Amino acid sequence: MRLPRADVVIILDSPRWLCLWWRVLRRSIFERDQRPDLPDGCPEHVDWSLLKFIWRFKRQTWPRIEAARREFGAGVPVVRLRGRRQADICLATLPPAPTRP
């Protein structure tokens, strides 16, 4: 429902090794219980199904996401960011978010 109304689709296209090591394993080992974005009583955990999901994402999940994007949001521009530097540059160019009342 949101895709046809989107202004842009931003794809964070990180390498698989980065997702596995830096984003998941390192964080779960060295930053355990330090994530302010997780609700109380909901600790971060890594299990085999999460690791398999990440490993197989581009082959199994990505084609379904791309098919849905083509079907429901073909006219929506796509920006593919392939790393932290590109993401930082993209974020720096965005206007400030409007304040909510």
Average pLDDT over residues 56-78: 91
Q: Which residue has the tokens 């830096």?
A: 22
Average pLDDT over residues 29-38: 67
What is the Cα–Cα distance from 48 to 53, expressed in whole angstroms? 9
Q: Which of 27, 22, 18 is nearest to 46 (CA)?
A: 27
pTM over 0.75: no
In a domain, residue 40? The reply is: yes
In a domain, residue 98? The reply is: no
What is the Cα–Cα distance from 88 to 22, expressed in whole angstroms? 17
Selected residue with higher pLDDT from 84 and 22: 84
CB 75, CB 6: distance < 8 Å: no
Selected residue with higher pLDDT from 9 and 35: 9
Chain-centroid distance of CA 9 in Å reads 12
What is the Cα–Cα distance from 28 to 15, expressed in whole angstroms? 18
Structurally, how many domains does the chain consist of? 1
In a domain, residue 27? The reply is: yes
In a domain, residue 101? The reply is: no
Average pLDDT over residues 10-28: 81
- Give the chain's mean pLDDT: 84
In a domain, residue 28? The reply is: yes
Average pLDDT over residues 6-28: 82
- Domain residues for the domain of 55 are 3-93
Average pLDDT over residues 71-85: 90
- pLDDT value for 26: 72
